[in-house]
Amino acid sequence: MSWRGAAYETKSRGQARPANAGPSRTRRPDEPISSIEDNSQQSEERDSVRSSTPSVSVNTPDGSETRFPNTSLQNPSSALPEQDDAENVSHRFQGLRLGTHSSPSSSQGLDLGSMRAALPSVESASPRQTPLLLAGGSPASFGGRRRRSSSVDIRPYNVRDEVPPQDRFHNSEFQRAFAHAKSLMGRLTEVLGSSTLPLEPDSVIRSLRDKAEELSHFRCPPTRTVGLVGDSGAGKSSLLNSLLDFHGLARTSNSGAACTCVVTEYRHHDSADFVVDVVVFTEDELQDQFRNMVHAYRYNYFHSADMESQEERLHWADQAKLASDTFKAMFGDRFTADLLCSVNSETRIVRTLLRWAVDSSPIRDIDKHAVKNSLEDCSELLMKLTSDHGAAHGPAHWPYIKNISVHLDSYIVSKGLVLVDLPGLRDLNSARRNITERYLLDCDEIFIICPIGRAVTDEGVMNVVERARQARLSNISIICTKSDQIRADEAQRDWRGAQAAEIQRRKDLLATAEGELAKIREPLDELNDLDDLFEEEEIQKARLYERLERKGAEIENIKFELQRYMITERNALVESELQALYRDKIPGGVLYVFCASNTLYWDKRNLRSRVRALPFLELSGIVAIRRHCMALVSESQLRAASKYLRDDIPNLLSNIKLWVRTGLESADAGRKQAVQKAISLFGDRLRTALVGNSSPLDDLSQALIDTFDDRVYQRRQIARWTEGAVQAGQVWSSVTTYAAFCRQYGTYTTAAVGYHCWNEEAMKTMNGDLAHPWDNLQEEVQRLLHNTRVAISETQDRVVSRYLDIALQDFPDSIHPLRNALKSRRRILVGDVEELGAAFEAEVSKLRTKALSGLRTSYFGESMELSYWKANCEHGPGSWARKKGIINGTLGNEQLFRELMRKFKCNFGELATQLDSDVLASVEEYLEDIENTLDMIRSENVVQESERDPEFKARVAHEADELEKAMEYGVKPVLRELGLD
């Protein structure tokens, strides 16, 4: 007999009374309903329900407290998501109050039959079986009820709530001061606009109002570029989607064999729409690509049978296929291979293809500056621009596109970053591969993307690290994707030892919990088999669902902890191996390694509660990568924000105070005229001191050029360097894989000889001779730039002390704000010059890479390009000797190094001249601002303007005083505390 039959004797009108029922007892409001722990306790449970049916309440819209036991997990950070079923159950219970027929609430509430109706229908899924727990499912999907608690954070996840890096820029006090200052500028803008005076085009107060408005909208400029590079399928696009927090924005796979990635930049703009800017290849750039592809196809077609090795035949077959696929994508059915195989010359074929490209390019019909209102529309446009459509849809766009910029309102790029999706360095399309190599030199951080399963052996990672080493780039990080792809049985087999034992322990916990779950299902299944339940049975069923929910949550938690353990352990293992492989190859020896799962991120990103989502998102690794990216811009953002608080706002405030005090000074007309003349003399003297023949800026570019000439150019030893290159070429001549290295333009890895970069080895003597002179050059450049900044400061101080104090002796109220304005403006100028100097040093560092590295896009690599190409075109008997003759002949020509040094000197001179021009432009802007500031005192028009609206002038004066106090007591202490004053 079932437990139900033994416990009950009669059933009438939906009510039941236990056979051995004792005196009725009313349950206290705070008395919890006992739970059913096992079958041995069922008799006790039946005894407890002999009394009147206890009152059971749930959360109501007005926030009344539930009386169901709290089944939330002990550790909220490990709490797992609750899905739509749980939400539906909760909503169905909202407002319900259940009680006995005799209870006061019965007339206002529902009976237990209604409670059952509020539960999810078990029979709808499986008529006679308790719902099974699905991996990754919600505990609430059993039909249990979820109770809301005011102590649980049910807000959805928001990227903007992520914990920022712990640095000075993200310091909470600094951020509050920064935000407060911007709000003060907004208030000041309103006050400065509260008169008709700013409506006059040439009014001074209008220019001050415009400046205040500009400062109220101040944003730190984008200062860091992060490039993501990796082989096809590594997960770059998916990672970008996760970092940007826009699901499905970037395409996640190539749809055509010839469809390589297009350089795609992601930049910020403060708008909800998406703006896509497209830059296309020029005709000359297309012609170069066509020439290489036509030659590759024809060479493979006419000479494949004469090639010496299977490897060589495969190389040219791949190049031919790339050419054919690209031309089909560009021209559709108009292109046939017969054109490439014809008797026409390669030049004539290239001319024909170029004419087709110009006449029928689909890119002509594309808006180069497209604005899209939705994520879906933007994603569709990107897909159109970067994928093949097939002949039915017309020619593809991607072969014509050089790069794409996407402007969007994403949190990570709003912090000053530009994220760039780059083609792989092993791309068969040499034009796009070279674009990537050049772009890497401009990146402030390089993320090498690879799947975690092959991270340690990934050739793409090694390829980028080696190029970074040649370019002396120290800003390298590795991101291993697909970190969630790990199975317990495989991990247990691979790891063994303590890790395997820990996995087994967690698996045993899971098996035990699932066994306990099965025991709870048994009485539930029997109750679900019954068509009509006693009220006491309804209570029993509710309790069982309670237990089922708690046990389900426990199981899901065990699963999550097992997953977290395996992912964390595997991540640490991979990071350790990658550090051992590559850390010493990176200048500075600092290598960051991250592991990420885009699948885990998006599976849990939109859970209803951020508390439930956060453990998964942290485990996905995306949050940590975003935090690292934000830290990259912290110092540059700190400098910009500090300049804003320390110099830009005080400079505006000083000018406003000068405007307010204009006309308040008392002096006779003759004295005023003398003051105006003295102030004009001060302005003239300052201009002469800064941009005259004897100014500290007069010979800056020439001093830099002379330093380069003395430290580097005069140290050239062309004959010695040529000899070293010839000797390197002779060493290569003995390797059996000579042809393979030629096909890879000198940079390759083989099992027989390992990794070699012929260009780098040919330049070894040259680099050895110039290493110390280059260090001396860098030191001298830094000294010259430092002296320039000091001279600018000292020049202004000298002119101010000599000419300004005497000029304003009859205007004492104007001396202080004018001095403050000059001081802050001087600091702005010095800061600008410092930034220009830093940018110059960065460009000089890139120039060193172009001149002294063996990269394919370096001066040396570009000079060797034609020789490698000619060597690759040699085939048939004796081709090996001819290949060596071509390469060695180029290396033995002294013109190779002579031309290299000429380019080096010429480009350094261009950089120095550009720096001189930029510094002078900053000085001119500074002098123009100083002239405008001086006009506050000497211009009669300004005097008349300031006196036309006394009430307005009083408001401005009051606001300026309040702003000064706010800056003095609210902002400056923070700057001092952080060492930024």
pLDDT at 392: 52
Cα distances from 210 to residues 142, 203, 933, 954, 956, in angstroms, run: 62, 11, 15, 19, 15
pLDDT at 877: 85
CA 26 – CA 445 distance, rounded (Å): 70
Q: pLDDT grade, residue 277 (50/70/90)?
A: very high
Q: For residue 196, tell me if it sits in a domain.
A: no
Last residue of a domain, one of 392, 414, 443: 443
Q: Which residue has the tokens 């600094």?
A: 174
Structure tokens at 779: 């030191």
Q: Which residue has the tokens 């970037």?
A: 250
pLDDT over 70 percentage in the chain: 80
pLDDT at 311: 84
pLDDT at 105 over 60: no
Chain centre distance of CA 471:
23
Q: pLDDT grade, residue 814 (50/70/90)?
A: low
DSSP secondary structure string for all residues of 771-823: HHHHHHHHHHHHHHHHHHHHHHHHHHHHHIIIIIHHHTTT-HHHHHHHHHHHH
Q: For residue 864, tell me if it sits in a domain.
A: yes
Q: Model-level pTM?
A: 0.78
Query: Domain range for residue 321?
Result: 224-443
pLDDT at 942 over 60: yes
CA 68 – CA 915 distance, rounded (Å): 73
Q: pLDDT grade, residue 77 (50/70/90)?
A: very low
Last residue of a domain, one of 408, 443, 478: 443
pLDDT at 436: 84
pLDDT digits (tens, 9 = 90+) for 211-246: 999 999 998 887 789 999 988 778 888 999 999 999
pLDDT digits (tens, 9 = 90+) for 507-527: 999 999 999 999 998 888 888
**Closest by CA position to 469, among listed 583, 315, 325, 627:** 583
Q: Which residue has the tokens 């960051």?
A: 592
Q: For residue 504, tell me if it sits in a domain.
A: no
Instruction: Taking residues 351-368, report their average pLDDT.
Output: 88
Instruction: Taking residues 241-259, report their average pLDDT.
Output: 72
pLDDT at 866: 93
Phi and psi dihedrals of 447, rounded to 5?
-100, 120
Instruction: Please count the other Cβ atoms lying within 10 Å of the Cβ belonging to residue 110.
Output: 17
CA 868 – CA 784 distance, rounded (Å): 42
CA 418 – CA 141 distance, rounded (Å): 43
3-state secondary structure (DSSP) of residue 141: helix
Q: For residue 752, tell me if it sits in a domain.
A: yes
Q: Which residues contact 825 (CB under 8 A, 6 or more apart)?
A: 647, 651, 926, 929, 930, 933
pLDDT higher for 190 or 94?
Answer: 190
CB 729 within 8 A of CB 774: no
CB 636 within 8 A of CB 224: yes
Q: How many CA atoms lie within 13 A of 135 on its CB side?
A: 5
Structure tokens at 3: 């437990």
pLDDT higher for 249 or 47?
Answer: 249
pLDDT at 890 over 90: yes
Last residue of a domain, one of 443, 474, 499: 443
Q: Determine which helix (DSSP H) or strand (DSSP E) holds 17, and give its type and residue range.
A: strand 15-18
Structure tokens at 187: 């208030």
CB 659 within 8 A of CB 946: yes
CB 789 within 8 A of CB 700: no
Q: For residue 894, tell me if it sits in a domain.
A: yes
CA 600 – CA 620 distance, rounded (Å): 6
**Closest by CA position to 437, among listed 841, 849, 741:** 849
Q: Three-class SS string for 519-549? A: HHHHHHHHHHHCCCCCHHHHHHHHHHHHHHH
pLDDT at 808: 67
CA 884 – CA 890 distance, rounded (Å): 10
CA 187 – CA 175 distance, rounded (Å): 19
pLDDT at 977: 92
pLDDT at 298: 93
pLDDT digits (tens, 9 = 90+) for 862-883: 999 999 999 998 888 888 899 9
Number of domains in the chain: 2
Structure tokens at 596: 């990420």
Q: For residue 189, tell me if it sits in a domain.
A: no
Phi and psi dihedrals of 592, rounded to 5?
-95, 135
Instruction: Taking residues 614-638, report their average pLDDT.
Output: 93
**Closest by CA position to 159, among listed 564, 606, 596, 560:** 606
Instruction: Please count the other Cβ atoms lying within 10 Å of the Cβ belonging to residue 325.
Output: 19
First to last CA, the chain: 86
679: amino acid identity, one letter: I
**Closest by CA position to 531, among listed 3, 97, 14, 52:** 14
CA 252 – CA 236 distance, rounded (Å): 8
pLDDT at 884 over 50: yes
Average pLDDT of every residue of the chain = 81
**Closest by CA position to 549, among listed 72, 116, 60:** 72
pLDDT at 810: 63
pLDDT higher for 258 or 833?
Answer: 833
pLDDT at 47: 38
* Pairing mode, strands 592-595 and 476-481: parallel
Per-residue buried b or exposed e for 351-379, using 16+ beta carbons within 10 Å of the residue's own CB: eebbebbeeebbbeebeeeeebeeeeebb
Q: pLDDT grade, residue 124 (50/70/90)?
A: very low
Listed range (95-99, 558-562, 889-893, 930-934) with the worst mean pLDDT: 95-99
Structure tokens at 370: 């497209």
CB 180 within 8 A of CB 644: no
Listed range (187-196, 796-805, 823-832, 915-924) with the worst mean pLDDT: 796-805
Structure tokens at 351: 């001319």
- Select, from the ranges 56-60, 85-89, 157-161, the one with the highest average predicted confidence (pLDDT): 157-161
Phi and psi dihedrals of 278, rounded to 5?
-120, 130
Q: For residue 672, tell me if it sits in a domain.
A: no
- Select, from the ranges 144-153, 196-205, 364-373, the one with the highest average predicted confidence (pLDDT): 364-373
Q: Which residues contact 454 (CB under 8 A, 6 or more apart)?
A: none
CB 354 within 8 A of CB 287: yes
pLDDT at 960: 93
Q: For residue 925, tell me if it sits in a domain.
A: yes
Listed range (138-147, 465-474, 708-717, 940-949) with the worst mean pLDDT: 138-147
Instruction: Please count the other Cβ atoms lying within 10 Å of the Cβ belonging to residue 768.
Output: 11
Q: How many CA atoms lie within 13 A of 494 on its CB side?
A: 11
Q: In 692-737, which residue ranges form alpha helices assigned H by DSSP? A: 700-711, 718-732
Q: Determine which helix (DSSP H) or strand (DSSP E) holds 757, and give its type and residue range.
A: strand 754-757
pLDDT at 31: 38
Cα-based torsion angle of the residue sequence 918, 924, 929, 931 in order, rounded to the nearest 10 degrees: 170
